[in-house]
Amino acid sequence: MAKQEDVFKTIIAHAKEYGFVFQSSEIYDGLSAVYDYGQNGVELKNNIKRYWWEAMTMLHDNIVGIDSAIFMHPTIWKASGHVDAFNDPLIDNKDSKKRYRADVLIEDEIAKFDEKINKEVAKAAKRFGESFDEAMFRQTNPRVLEHQRKRDELHTRFSEAMNANDLADLKQIILDYEIVDPISGTRNWTDVRQFNLMFKTEMGSTADGAMDVYLRPETAQGIFVNYLNVQKTGRMRLPFGIAQIGKAFRNEIVARQFIFRMREFEQMEMQFFVRPGEELKWFDFWRQTRLSWHKNLGLGDTKYRFHDHEKLAHYANAATDIEFEMPFGFKEVEGIHSRTNFDLSQHEKFSGKKIQYFDPELNESYVPYVIETSIGVDRMFLSVFCSCYEDQDLGNGDHRAVLHFPAPIAPVKCAVLPLVKKDGLPEKAREIQHRLRFDFTCQYDEKDSIGKRYRRQDAIGTPYCITIDHQTLEDGTVTLRERDSMEQKRLSVDEVEKILSEKVSLNSLLKQLVVK
């Protein structure tokens, strides 16, 4: 098994063991691709959401927030294109009775060619040592060239079938390349069918004439259909944005990689309405602004990359993803799209209401263009969690599991620990905790040795531990232990409070964002 897979398994186990993420309905054997956030997970998640919300709505005069309902009029999903086109091509294996995404099966096959090429390169690099010229090897080695030729052939055929929506050819590719079901090992496949990812339910009793409604697959449409309400009641002038955080639901066929692909998840979306013709300028602005927001967390600049889309949706004129290096490779965390005036125009058409902006400078009305920034809360959580986790070797056979969360988003900001459970130390510790808890998420712990308690706080990523000992009773000073360096300093409670205010407040993170 690859080492990274082991690391990911350890991280998932840690997330469960320390109250961050639980499988949903676990005592009933779980519900696939649905997860619950535990006592520490919910704090981390809320802090991530606050960081996004405040960066959007407090640092931009022209961005306001809304909270629209999950249920919306079903025609909205017809107008947005989700009823007709929010599909994945699925295929079933008749022996294992398992369902797969046909495109994912083929993409996995393409990845096998890449693996073969990489293996050849790695072998040669070992053989030739320092004199190895990788570029030259890739261009000339007959085996590499043959793998590359087969890969490109498959890739071209696959892209053509996907673009043409040719389901019969997708099946034929699976048969021609002898792709087997990973479980049954057989090639006993059904035809490929389109599968709509929206969850459908009914609203109202049947006697009244029930109406089919959908659980929203994105929060964005709640913003589009409220464009007029917000623009008029907020007297907003272009350019302006509407931000929203909320649940979204997709009946994903292939749900894997823990909370990376879920059936119920949360999005943080912002639609920025601009004058037609200015959208690409704003697209560049948001591309950079969003990357700065990510990098500001200090998880490591090299962990991010843009993936610009070559093939654009028919309504988009620019699109990029911000990808983060997860333990299973670079993966999309956020999408930034220039969506033209597609959505608002569609809603104009389907609702029959005029959705336009009167531009006083141009003295004309038009349907605004839109730049969308859309980030998954759960994927953001996963990227923070994975990159902050460390099984740290402390020498002499000692090690600790530590989460190096950026202090302002850590679930618990400080722990107050009496050195021993007697001599009035617990009472003094409680007094200090009660003073700090108005400003900081603060835990009190008196069980086990102080070393064990430090480890417990490291494992949930608490940036500071405050230890109360006998000297505290004499002169009021405490020991402040910092999580990453494990350094300890003797300070007064006033000094501790000052350090905490500087280091763990969300404001410090937001201020850095403006300075950068």
Interacting residue ranges for ligand GAP, rule: CB under 6 A:
218, 220, 250, 252, 261-262, 265, 267, 269, 332-335, 372, 374-376, 378-379
Return phi, psi of residue 30, to 5°: 85, 165
Nearest residue (CB) to ligand GAP, 161 versus 375: 375
Minimum CB–partner distance for residue 250 and ligand GAP (Å): 5
Instruction: Output the CA torsion 257→262→267→271 (10° steps).
Output: 90
Strands 398-403 and 414-418 come out as unpaired
Neighbours of 112 (CB within 10 A): 14
Nearest residue (CB) to ligand GAP, 327 versus 426: 327
Task: Please give the radius of gyration of the chain, using alpha carbons only, rounded to the nearest integer.
Answer: 27
Minimum CB–partner distance for residue 411 and ligand GAP (Å): 21
Question: Residue by residue, what is the 3-state secondary structure of 171-190?
Answer: HHHHHHCCCCCCCCCCCCEC
Q: Please give the structure tokens belonging to residue 150.
A: 């087969």
Give CA–CA dist 32/328, Å, rounded: 20
Nearest residue (CB) to ligand GAP, 38 versus 81: 81
Largest pairwise CA distance in the chain: 81
Minimum CB–partner distance for residue 79 and ligand GAP (Å): 14
Minimum CB–partner distance for residue 368 and ligand GAP (Å): 17
Minimum CB–partner distance for residue 151 and ligand GAP (Å): 26
Nearest residue (CB) to ligand GAP, 221 versus 457: 221
Nearest residue (CB) to ligand GAP, 56 versus 412: 56
Minimum CB–partner distance for residue 242 and ligand GAP (Å): 13
Nearest residue (CB) to ligand GAP, 375 versus 500: 375
Minimum CB–partner distance for residue 197 and ligand GAP (Å): 9
Minimum CB–partner distance for residue 422 and ligand GAP (Å): 49
Give CA–CA dist 168/162, Å, rounded: 11
Nearest residue (CB) to ligand GAP, 124 versus 197: 197
Structural contact between residues 317 and 279, judged by C-beta atoms closer than 8 angstroms: yes
First to last CA, the chain: 42
Give CA–CA dist 368/274, Å, rounded: 6
Nearest residue (CB) to ligand GAP, 269 versus 446: 269
Half-sphere exposure of 275 (CA within 13 A, CB side): 13
Strands 357-359 and 364-366 come out as antiparallel
Place of tokens 């046909």: 102
Give CA–CA dist 234/449, Å, rounded: 57
